[in-house]
Every structure is written in C-alpha cells, then in structure tokens.
C-alpha cells in the first residue's frame, strides 16, 4: 500500500502573491494544469497544498507576537533538509513569524521549528525532529 499524501486547501487573497511565495520563496512546484484557474495545486514538500483565490474567505489572525500561531499548517522535514531550508530562507532575507530554533525536549529529543506567514496571513510551520521515530510516538 502506498504512503498517504497529506492534502490541505487554503484561501488566499492574491493568487499571484501566493504563487510567488510558495514557488519563488519556498521553492515548491505547481502542477501545470492548474495555472490560470483561480487556484494553484502545489507540491508542498511532498504534500498537496491547494491555494484557492477567495479573498472573502481569508481569515486574518490576531495571534500575539512571540507566540506560535494557533491556526497554522506545516510540514515535518528531515533534519538536514530543515537546516538547509533555514539557510536558504535567511539568505533570501525572509521575515520569520517565529525565528528558527531548536529545543531539547526531555521525552522526544531535539526539535527544530520556525513559522512564516504567506502573503494572505496563513501561518506555515516547518518542523524537524532529530529522532524522526519520535514524530508520532
């Protein structure tokens, strides 16, 4: 049985800016058959992200600075991939919602995470466990 592929759909208020963020900033790819249809089907690090232009459905968060956003989606990456992404984002001068950090948790070991906001205010988390076996344990 093949591994499942996670799928999420989000509303964006400007599809062009969303494409620039997900493809340009993050380096994702878009399925070619969706270009020009009011949505983008994006290969988001092995998961399927559908960005749908629906400005009236975009919810702006009122989360407090300094805290992890309550409403967010994200991806768990391999340790080395996460560090490479951090380096690429810093080199591009990307503004982090929550700066990249590594915490040492007693029961699960080292965990790296960071948060970004896309141009529509959707929060995206990038997370990595040094001991990947602890992700769902």
What is the count of structural domains for the chain? 1
Residue span of the structural domain in which 111 resides: 7-55+71-134
Per-residue pLDDT, 125? 94
Per-residue model confidence as pLDDT tens digits over 99-113: 999 999 888 899 999
Quick check: is 75 in a domain? yes
Tell the burial category of 114 from Cβ atoms under 10 Å away from its Cβ (0-12, 13-18, 19+). buried
Per-residue pLDDT, 33? 86
Quick check: is 21 in a domain? yes
Angle, CA of 34, 72 and 137, to the nearest 5° = 110
Spell out the alpha helix ranges (H) of the chain.
15-19, 79-91
Per-residue pLDDT, 1? 67
**Confidence tier at 65 by pLDDT (50, 70, 90):** low
Per-residue model confidence as pLDDT tens digits over 124-137: 999 999 988 877 76
Quick check: is 66 in a domain? no
Q: Report d(CA 58, CA 19) in Å as an integer.
A: 16
Task: Tell me which long-range contacts 104-113 makes (C-beta under 8 A, separation of at least 24).
Answer: 107/134, 108/134, 108/137, 109/134, 112/79, 112/82, 112/83, 112/86
Residue 67 has pLDDT above 70, yes or no: no
83 or 5: whose pLDDT is higher? Answer: 83
Residue 9 has pLDDT above 80, yes or no: yes
Quick check: is 1 in a domain? no
Quick check: is 96 in a domain? yes
Average pLDDT, the chain: 89
Per-residue pLDDT, 90? 97
In 10 A of CB 59, how many CB atoms?
A: 11
Tell the burial category of 134 from Cβ atoms under 10 Å away from its Cβ (0-12, 13-18, 19+). middle
Quick check: is 34 in a domain? yes
Assign residue 48 the CATH number of its domain.
Answer: 3.10.180.10
Whole-prediction pTM: 0.85
Quick check: is 86 in a domain? yes
By DSSP bridging, strand 73-77 and strand 123-129 are parallel
């Amino acid at each position: 049985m093949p591994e499942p592929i996670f799928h999420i759909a989000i509303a964006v208020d400007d599809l062009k800016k969303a494409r620039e963020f997900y493809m340009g900033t993050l380096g994702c790819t878009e399925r070619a058959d969706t270009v020009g249809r009011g949505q983008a089907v994006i290969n988001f690090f092995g998961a399927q992200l559908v960005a749908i232009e629906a400005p009236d459905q975009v919810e702006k968060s009122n989360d407090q600075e300094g805290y992890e956003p309550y409403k967010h989606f994200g991806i768990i990456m391999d340790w080395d991939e996460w560090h490479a992404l951090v380096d690429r984002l810093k080199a591009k001068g990307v503004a982090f919602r929550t700066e990249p950090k590594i915490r040492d948790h007693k029961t699960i070991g080292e965990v790296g995470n960071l948060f970004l906001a896309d141009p529509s205010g959707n929060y995206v988390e990038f997370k990595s466990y040094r001991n990947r076996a602890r992700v769902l344990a």
